[in-house]
Structures are given as C-alpha cells and as structure tokens.
C-alpha cells in the first residue's frame, strides 16, 4: 500500500502547477543565449520579453521596471545592498553617502542577515517592532523616520505567521519622510492582490517557487526613476541591472505561474480561507492548550501558525513526517541554532511557545481530506509528546 502523503508546507515551497510544467517542457529547446543577435538568441529573447510583459501587467508595473533575478533572497539582497553602494564612491545616484536603513523585526533571514552585515559595514540600521498579531507598528516607524533615512524595507506577508501589512500606509509614511520603500512580497505575490502602483512602493521582491512556479528564479520591481546599482555585475543583461545569462526556462515558468495565479488566485483564496477555518476549529476541538499566532483576519488565507504547550516543535514535525505529513516549525532545534523563531519572539510569544510552534501552510492541492488526516494524526501525536513532556501539566 502506498503511504499517504499530505503536504502542508506550501510557504516553504510548492509543487509545479501541471500547466507550468507543460509550458516549461515545451520551452526546453529554447537554448539560445538571449543576448545573442542570431535567431537562436532572438527566440529566447522574445520569450523572456513576453514573460516580462505579462509579469509586469500582473503586478501593475511597466515591463522595464521588472528585473529577473535568481531568487527572492537575491531580490532582497539587491535592494538592501543599494544602501551600501550609496555609501561608497561607486555610487552614481547622487546620494550624499549618509545611509540609514530601517527594517522590521519579523523579516525573512535574507533581509535580517543582510541588514546585520550592512550594520557591521557601518550602515545605520534600525528595526521597527510589531504588535501581538504581527502588525508593524506604524507609529514606531514614524518615530524612527524623524531622523532622515535612505530606505525602509518591510515584508508584505509574513512567511511564518501569515500576517499581512498595510503596505500602502507604510510606504506613505516612508515617502513623507523622504525615504525609499521596499517590500519583500515573496509570500504575497500570487496569493493576495498586489499592485505596485496602488501600493506606491519603490521596490518589490517576488519569487516563482512559492506560487507553483520553478525554483531558482525571482523578480524585482524597481520603480522608474529610483536610483539603482546592480548587485551582480558583469554583462549588460537586464539592461545592465543584473548580470548573468537569463534563466530562460525559469522566467517562462514564472510568467506561466503568475498567469495561472491571475485566473485561480481569488477562488483559491476563498477556498483556503474555508479550509483554514476547518483546521482552526478542528485544532481547537481536538487539542487543548494551544495558541494561534498571527493576525486572525489580516493574514494569508492558507497559513496557520499554532503554539502547542509542552510540545517541542521539531519532535512534532518529525512524528508528523513519519505519518507522511509535512509541516514546519519555529523551533530552534529544526534549524540547528538555539534561538527559536524570531518572528514569534517579536510578537511577544514566550520562548517556550516559540519552540513549540507548528506552521501549517496550505495550497491549491490541499483538500478537506488532507486536513481530516492531519487533525486525526496530530491530536494523537500531541498526546504522545505531552505524555513524555516535562513541560506539560494537565489543568
């Protein structure tokens, strides 16, 4: 008998949409270097530019405002490193070399680690906090912006707890203070409506593999007229803004994935919200002493994060794995570090509840039956772990 497998880790990555897979398979022969002038190159170039146009339309941008990169992490690194570029002599953008960056405490590691590195290189970096539901403290942002800043970077939807920010409001506050605004929208694009003009952002990062596209390809929106320095230097690809031969197949796949999201996103969001309610109610009914993390309404429709008293997250994750169920955890033990999820600590969870958290992230292939199976197995696993836990006492 084939083992039952339930994938509930769609914020980590998603399977390719069958139609994306088909589209990519049909494009395998496009091997020409898009920078070549001959026909092989021109064919690849044409596909890339068609992809750029459709992605730009999806985001409400113009084609030449989209740069293709290798990942969401690269997109974020590119934007954040603009500030260190501005601090150096190479900068042609005309800033005075006084760089101050503001970000938040719940960003993805690719932002936080870059910020840390910039700080070590002399950039003034400050972090804005969030409330108990993970909503960025706009008042705090206003306060830190009393001193002039270069750039503010805030994620649109949080990968761990799913909380969605009011990006437009944050961008306005930022612009009023004369700084540029970047949002890491890797978890948002293709899941909830994203329009760069409507939100008035200067930079926006996105990625293909979180929305049923291929891995190894992402994109960066850079509003026209905003200063920009390339992060990866070399050839003149992407109009000199990102060197390296384009990932033709990946770019075609990303465009296909986003076209499909345009068709499927709204209905799927509604379906996922329904499933999340079932999951939430089911957990509340079958597992005592749990706490849901994140915003109850302003959150990604498919993401549910829950802390389970007395249960260490990695143990729960691995017992679930043995039942064929895939989730993720904010426990430090899963990552090899000693600190539990920085996001959960930022929303004020105790270290114990942060270590004991599970993230369930659903996707287009998730069914009601999957959740029933998860709920059944999870209740038993929690019981088993709590029976041997030094940190759980019946109330």
Partner 1 sequence: MSDWVYSDVVKDHFMNPRNVLVDPEVFAEDGRGVVGNIKCGDEMMFVIKVDKEKEIIEDCRWKTYGCASAIASTSILSEIVKGMTLAQAFNITPKDIAAKLGNLPEHKIHCSVLGDKALRAAINDYYRRSGKPEKIREEKAKIICQCMNVTDHEIEDAVLEGVRSYVALQEHTKLGTVCGQCREEAIRLMDTYIQKHFLNG
Residue 390 binds partner 1 (CB under 8 A): yes
What is the C-alpha separation between 149 and 133, in angstroms, rounded?
27
Residue 333 binds partner 1 (CB under 8 A): yes
Residue 394 binds partner 1 (CB under 8 A): no
Residue 266 binds partner 1 (CB under 8 A): no
Residue 293 binds partner 1 (CB under 8 A): no
Residue 297 binds partner 1 (CB under 8 A): no
Residue 320 binds partner 1 (CB under 8 A): no
227-235, 297-305, 317-325, 375-383 -> range binding partner 1 (CB under 8 A): 317-325
Tokens of 335: 């990552």
The count of C-alpha atoms lying within 13 angstroms of the C-alpha of 3, restricted to the half-sphere facing its C-beta, is 9
Residue 321 binds partner 1 (CB under 8 A): yes
Start-end of H helices in the chain: 18-26, 39-59, 72-86, 109-120, 138-144, 167-176, 196-199, 237-240, 248-286, 313-322, 332-335, 342-346, 351-355, 368-387
Which residues inside 42-61 make contact with partner 1, applying CB under 8 A?
none
Residue 338 binds partner 1 (CB under 8 A): yes
Binder of partner 1 out of 322, 368, 369, 380 (CB under 8 A)? 322
Distance in Å, CB of 360 to partner 1, minimum = 19
Distance in Å, CB of 331 to partner 1, minimum = 7
What is the C-alpha separation between 74 and 105, in angstroms, rounded?
20
- CB closer to partner 1 out of 177 and 332: 332
The set of catalytic residues is 333
Which residues inside 353-372 make contact with partner 1, applying CB under 8 A?
355
- Show contacts of 279-288: CB within 8 Å, 24+ apart: 279/304, 279/360, 279/362, 279/371, 279/374, 279/375, 280/304, 282/371, 282/372, 282/375, 283/375, 283/378, 286/375, 286/378, 286/379, 287/378, 287/379, 287/382, 288/395
The residues of the shown chain that bind partner 1, judged by CB under 8 A, are: 310, 312, 314-315, 318-319, 321-322, 331-334, 336, 338, 340, 350-352, 355, 387-392
């Amino acid at each position: 008998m084939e083992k039952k497998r339930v994938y509930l880790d769609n914020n980590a990555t998603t399977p390719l949409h069958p139609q994306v897979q088909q589209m990519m398979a049909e494009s395998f022969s496009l091997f020409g270097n898009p920078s070549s002038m001959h026909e092989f190159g021109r064919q690849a170039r044409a596909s890339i530019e068609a992809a750029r146009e459709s992605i730009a339309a999806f985001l409400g941008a113009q084609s030449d405002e989209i740069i293709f990169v290798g990942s969401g992490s690269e997109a974020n690194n590119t934007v954040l490193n603009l500030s260190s570029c501005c601090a150096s002599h190479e900068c042609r953008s005309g800033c005075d070399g006084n760089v101050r960056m503001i970000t938040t405490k719940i960003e993805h590691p690719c932002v936080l680690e870059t910020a840390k590195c910039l700080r070590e290189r002399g950039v003034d970096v400050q972090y804005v906090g969030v409330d108990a539901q993970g909503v960025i403290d706009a008042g705090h942002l206003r306060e830190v912006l009393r001193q002039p800043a270069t750039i503010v970077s805030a994620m649109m939807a949080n990968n761990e707890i799913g909380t969605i920010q009011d990006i437009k409001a944050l961008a306005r506050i930022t612009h009023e203070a004369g700084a540029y605004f970047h949002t890491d929208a890797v978890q948002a694009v293709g899941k909830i409506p994203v329009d760069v003009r409507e939100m008035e952002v200067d930079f926006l990062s996105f990625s293909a593999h979180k929305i049923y596209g291929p891995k190894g390809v992402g994109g960066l929106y850079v509003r026209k007229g905003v200063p920009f320095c390339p992060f990866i230097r070399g050839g003149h690809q992407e109009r000199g803004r990102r060197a390296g031969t384009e990932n033709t197949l990946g770019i075609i796949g990303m465009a296909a994935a986003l076209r499909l999201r345009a068709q499927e996103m709204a209905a799927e969001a509604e379906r996922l919200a329904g499933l999340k309610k079932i999951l939430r109610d089911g957990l509340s009914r079958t597992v005592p002493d749990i706490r849901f993390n994140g915003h109850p309404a302003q959150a990604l429709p498919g993401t549910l994060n829950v802390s389970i008293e007395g249960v260490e997250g990695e143990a729960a994750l691995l017992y679930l794995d043995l039942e064929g169920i895939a989730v993720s955890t904010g426990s430090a033990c899963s990552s090899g570090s000693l600190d539990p999820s920085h996001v959960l600590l930022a929303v004020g969870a105790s270290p114990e509840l942060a270590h004991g958290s599970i993230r369930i992230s659903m996707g287009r292939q998730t069914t009601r039956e999957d959740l029933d199976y998860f709920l059944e197995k999870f209740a038993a696993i929690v019981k088993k772990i709590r029976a041997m836990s030094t940190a759980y006492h019946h109330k």
